[in-house]
Structure 1
Amino acid sequence: MFTLASVVAIFYLFSVAFAFPVIPLKVPPGDANKILCQLPIVSRILCPLSARAALTRPTVFGTATGAEDPSGAFRFPVKYASSTRWAPSTVVTSWNLPNGFTNASSLPLACPQPDVDSSAYSEDCLSMVLYVPPSLTLVSNAPTLVWIHGGSFIIGSATGPGLDGSKLAIATNSIVAVVQYRLGALGFMAPSGKTNLAVQDLVNALQFLKKAVPAFGGSASKITLAGQSSGANMIRALLAVPSASSLFTSAILQSDPMNFGFLSPTTQSVMQNFFTGEINCSATDSACLNALSLDTILDAQSDLFGSAADLDPAAGKNQPIRPVLDGSLITSPLDSTRPFPTQTKPLLITTVSEEAAFAIYSSFPDPLPEEAFEPICDATFGEPRTSQIVSSPLYSPIPSVNGDVDARSQLQTLGTDYLWKCSGWTFARNWVGHGGKAYVGQFVVGSTYPGNEAVPFCTQPGIVCHQDDIKIVFGTVENPTPEQAALTTEIQKRYKAFLTSGNPNVPGTATWSPATSSNIPSLLLGGSGVAPVGACVPSFWGSGVQYDYQFFNE
């Protein structure tokens, strides 16, 4: 790669060879670079753009227009794909701001979702926001991190709390793209029976980025997916999409509820029939379908969400609308119910220490006697899984300092293990056992995510609830403690290394050892050492008790 120094030398040689007059550069090196960057042929390729110049970029789609983010990066909102209601999306052919906006400072409207003012969302929502560090030049060959938001596939957006990618982009010297995709029934419940529209949306987003990022100093061959909760679940779906494999090189899955396998076509069909009945339009009546109000669609979606587990227990109660193992787009379950395919991509797989705490302590705001543990387990797991759980010393009562037992503590540990931690370890074992590489970690320092403060347990010192890792990663914690600031610095350094090399180890930090098919050294992020194994062994979760994806899909 050319450097400023080599360009100086070449320019000097050309000047001598062609008898151009040369004026010796008797200026300090830093000022010499500034002078050199005034040369048009040099500045366009090797020099960071000024703020004013950086707000427009020529791309293969046309001129991109952006704005300066308050945190320092250049921000480019863009519509990446188009679609009509319940039809597959297609990649755009020209660069346009989202939602017909003309001001590049405007951020995209969210996709339609419940409990949000209708002025904040639009069906025309297939947009993303690019955050570009000012330091990048056209030959930076920088990596891109594509963030896929969570929200149980029914809520969330690219502009959710803490998702300003500016600080993360600058710290990792990468382009950060925060992406939206169709949610809920509009993304997964097309009356025609066409499944996984939302998954295809993200395939299109990656196709768009592969063409677009070189104009911002990015490499088309260094794209990493990252996401949290259902966003990580969506990444797991993309890992099972053969046509998407060439579009990204690595992935970061944060708090993926891996106990939820992909929906089977049979379960999807049952849910689809219920939803179509709720909207009272036949699958072929396009006039009726297009005339439906978003309120009607969202109401029917809510009815489906609440009824799904009764329609088919395999759907579950917490995330029933999700990707479908359709056999055409998604071709493998990537779990232990079928032979695991050969893998090559490196993964980071992380959870937080109290993943299930928000759900448990919000459902049961008052302490529970030990006698409540078994019936609550039975309502969730049924027999014979409950008897195996309650008879195991791994989930024995945990007395408090005054000797009292609160069954919520057991339920929290149990929920964290089966839904997130242990199922993630099983996935990692399968991944590395079939050729891939995986680094597994657990956040033991976090920052209370908006909404989690409603559960007092989640605000206690040392407690890290679901979503509390997001602001740490993005560097958007307000007034961080020394521990939070230190972990943000560390995790951003590790992500920078992973984006470039597929390895999160950097000098000055603890060694993060990769998982093997038999050993999961889960690094404590914000602590020291590795997480205890506990129940996360194949002979208990995944075999003796079984995850839901095994129990319902035998």
Structure 2
Amino acid sequence: MIDISRAGTEFRTTSGAVRGRRSPDGVIAVLGIPYAAAPFGPHRFRRPQPVVCWSTPRDCTGFGPIAPQSAELPGSPVWRPGDEDILTVNVWVEPRPDAGPLPVLFWIHGGAYTFGSSAQPDFDGTALAKAGVVVVSCNFRVGFEGFGHVPGLPDNRGLLDQAAALRWVQENVAAFGGDPDRVTVAGHSSGAGSVACLMAVEEARGLFRRAIAHSVPNAFFTTEVAASTTSRIASAAGVAPTAEGLLSASPQDLVTASDKVAEQCGADPVTAIQAYDPVVFQPVVDGDVLPTDPLTALASGASRDVDLLVCHTLEEYWFLHEVGAVREVTSEQGLAEFAAALRVPAPVVDGYRVLMPGTPVLDRYLALFGDATFGEYSSRLAEHHAQAGGLAYLSRFARRRVRPGGEARPWHTADVPFAFGNLDADGAAFLIGGTPDEQDHALSRRMLRAWADFAASGDPGWAPVTAGATTVKRWAVPEDDVVDDATSRVRALWREVPFDLLRSKDIG
């Protein structure tokens, strides 16, 4: 191990020495460190394999290549055919030689299990490192490479990649000043879904002490649905839906075919819900890598030794509507058809009409969609974990501002730049609804502090959920507040509604 108080920007890992860069404010970033071998060639569609060691210090001053995808995100790198060494981690640390081992926050990016990377500007770990946390983020396989079903080969390869990256943390983070006994795995959206899954994955057991999950989606496939999706993608790629056929298709072929199938879901979905939200990749409850869905796992007490901090935003789906990611519903008949597809009982639909009098159908649709997919599911994760004997905290992002030309809503992804302390990052203005003011910066400091404190001690600063009470921290401007969900009229609508977590079993 290297003494980081004297070693500048060079650190020794189990695979070889790495050299990062130091920012003017003293934070060292070591980027693009391989944690597993390139998952192509003989390793394609298989479990992550050990990385080949190197003998001379490796330059790690820039992010590694990202996983195959078609997305082009603001300020982020794009995938180019031929990029293969995609399984890398990044580390940010402010050396504190007198502080002892620092808590570690391990970040998993979102992107509908289909796109995204650790190099997105709003995921920069500098501000959290300044708060006394070693930040680690990782790239992993997404889309078909990571979550497509391949007969005879492991499902959930993206989750296996994340577990491999967490093992890298256990073996190496001490060299960067981190404490391997205080690792918090954190993520947003499909990244939060990954966090919830990792709490149920045996290969990840013991690799982290705490978990932070922002906007956890109620989104899982059965093996049958995953296989049906593969058949459509294989057909679009012009290959057989077999391991041999899929291996003959290039990563670019499968990205193009997957995009084509997603575009067709509005008229011809694999499952009913995809007519409204055409996500074609989700974790597969395969009975092996992912033995059961996270809500069932947490309710059984399988991860009661992991402290859990959950957050969701109040208007999740307004963002997805704004970016054109979901079907628009504007009539009562359309709303009824949507509710049937999502299996939302009629009394719940009627209840939203009462709670939102005079509002357009579109607003009720987006509210229902957001609460069913993110809000209620996230809340139940915290409650089930607490009822099973685990320590759980629940929060909601409620910050709202009236801006020239519109309103900055508390929508999906708006909370992430606040928690990272990256309100001025490239692309953040769209996520948070404009230029941040001092109240926004103050809110960001409070949220970042809660993350850092939770990673350090398991206490973010408010009362936990208990078996008898759901206490909720609401992040807002100018001030936050704490409420009891017993008074929530929205939660009351859902209280008696059972969640069929594998609703996607119905193949269209």
Q: TM-score range by the shorter chain?
A: 0.7 to 0.9
Gaps of 5+ in 1: 1-42, 506-511
Q: Report deviation, 1:489.
A: 1.5
Q: Does 2:488 align with 1:533? A: yes
Determine helix, strand or coil for the equivalent of 2:494: coil
- Contact kept in structure 2, 1:447 and 1:469, CA below 8 Å: no
Query: CA 1:414–1:314 in 2, change beyond 3 Å: closer, same or farther?
Result: closer
Q: Does 2:201 align with 1:224? A: no
Distance 2:499 2:439 in 1: 35
Task: Tell me the residue number matched to 1:486.
Answer: 442
Task: Tell me the residue number matched to 1:473.
Answer: 419
- Contact kept in structure 2, 1:79 and 1:96, CA below 8 Å: no
Which of 203, 218, 226 aligns to 1:268? It is 226
Q: Does 2:98 align with 1:142? A: no
TM-score if structure 1 supplies the norm length? 0.77
Task: Tell me the residue number matched to 2:36.
Answer: 81
- Contact kept in structure 2, 1:181 and 1:198, CA below 8 Å: yes
Distance 2:169 2:271 in 1: 38
- Contact kept in structure 2, 1:397 and 1:410, CA below 8 Å: no
Distance 2:473 2:413 in 1: 18
Gaps of 5+ in 2: 73-77, 425-434
Distance 2:325 2:289 in 1: 40
Q: Report deviation, 1:552.
A: 5.2
Which of 215, 224, 233 aligns to 1:255? It is 215
Task: Tell me the residue number matched to 1:391.
Answer: 350
Q: Report deviation, 1:418.
A: 1.3
- Larger-Rg structure: 1
With a CA cutoff of 8 Å and minimum separation of 6, indicate the structure with the bigger relative contact order. 2
Task: Tell me the residue number matched to 2:258.
Answer: 301
- Contact kept in structure 1, 2:81 and 2:252, CA below 8 Å: no
What are the residue-to-residue correspondences of 1:505-520 with 2, within 5 Å? 505=461, 512-520=462-470
AA matched with 1:280: G
Which of 333, 336, 339 aligns to 2:293? It is 333
Task: Tell me the residue number matched to 1:437.
Answer: 391
Which of 158, 162, 165 aligns to 1:202? It is 162
Task: Tell me the residue number matched to 1:502.
Answer: 458
Task: State the Cα deviation string for residues 471-527 of structure 1 (Å, max 9, x = none).
Answer: 11111112641222111221222222211221112xxxxxx1111234221111132
What are the residue-to-residue correspondences of 1:40-119 with 2, within 5 Å? 45=3, 48-49=5-6, 53-69=7-23, 72-77=26-31, 78-82=33-37, 83-84=39-40, 85-92=44-51, 94=53, 103-116=59-72, 118-119=79-80
Query: CA 1:119–1:368 in 2, change beyond 3 Å: closer, same or farther?
Result: closer
Task: State the Cα deviation string for residues 363-400 of structure 1 (Å, max 9, x = none).
Answer: 699x987xx245224234349735323332x432635x
Query: CA 1:374–1:514 in 2, change beyond 3 Å: closer, same or farther?
Result: farther
- Contact kept in structure 1, 2:318 and 2:366, CA below 8 Å: yes
Task: State the Cα deviation string for residues 446-471 of structure 1 (Å, max 9, x = none).
Answer: 799xxxx9xx99x614x221111111
Task: Tell me the residue number matched to 1:345.
Answer: 306
AA matched with 2:464: P
Q: Report deviation, 1:231.
A: 0.4
Distance 1:201 1:542 in 2: 36
Distance 1:79 1:247 in 2: 18
Task: Tell me the residue number matched to 1:464.
Answer: 410
Task: Tell me the residue number matched to 1:412.
Answer: 366
Distance 1:364 1:236 in 2: 23
Task: Tell me the residue number matched to 1:234.
Answer: 194
AA matched with 2:150: P
Distance 2:418 2:20 in 1: 26
Distance 2:212 2:185 in 1: 6
Query: CA 1:231–1:384 in 2, change beyond 3 Å: closer, same or farther?
Result: closer
Distance 1:144 1:417 in 2: 31
- Contact kept in structure 2, 1:145 and 1:176, CA below 8 Å: yes
Distance 1:296 1:120 in 2: 10
Task: State the Cα deviation string for residues 196-232 of structure 1 (Å, max 9, x = none).
Answer: 1111001100111111111111111111101100000
- Contact kept in structure 2, 1:378 and 1:386, CA below 8 Å: no
TM-score if structure 2 supplies the norm length? 0.84
Distance 1:347 1:447 in 2: 29
Equivalent pairs, count: 475
AA matched with 2:70: P
AA matched with 1:292: A
AA matched with 2:445: T
Query: CA 1:96–1:104 in 2, change beyond 3 Å: closer, same or farther?
Result: farther
Q: Report deviation, 1:91.
A: 3.3
Distance 1:305 1:489 in 2: 39
Task: Tell me the residue number matched to 1:131.
Answer: 92
Determine helix, strand or coil for the equivalent of 1:246: coil
Distance 2:355 2:374 in 1: 21
Distance 1:470 1:267 in 2: 31
Query: CA 1:206–1:93 in 2, change beyond 3 Å: closer, same or farther?
Result: farther
Distance 2:325 2:100 in 1: 52
AA matched with 1:355: E
Task: State the Cα deviation string for residues 100-139 of structure 1 (Å, max 9, x = none).
Answer: x9643222121111144554982321112111113256x7
Query: CA 1:467–1:446 in 2, change beyond 3 Å: closer, same or farther?
Result: farther
AA matched with 2:474: L
Identical columns (%): 23
Task: Tell me the residue number matched to 1:16.
Answer: none
Q: Report deviation, 1:321.
A: 0.5
Query: CA 1:388–1:127 in 2, change beyond 3 Å: closer, same or farther?
Result: same
Q: Report deviation, 1:184.
A: 0.4
Determine helix, strand or coil for the equivalent of 1:143: strand
Q: Report deviation, 1:282.
A: 3.9
Task: State the Cα deviation string for residues 80-115 of structure 1 (Å, max 9, x = none).
Answer: 111222222123253699xxx964322212111114
- Contact kept in structure 2, 1:256 and 1:424, CA below 8 Å: yes
AA matched with 2:481: S
AA matched with 1:297: L
Which of 75, 93, 111 aligns to 1:151? It is 111
Determine helix, strand or coil for the equivalent of 1:147: strand
AA matched with 1:359: L
Query: CA 1:61–1:115 in 2, change beyond 3 Å: closer, same or farther?
Result: closer
Distance 2:319 2:297 in 1: 30
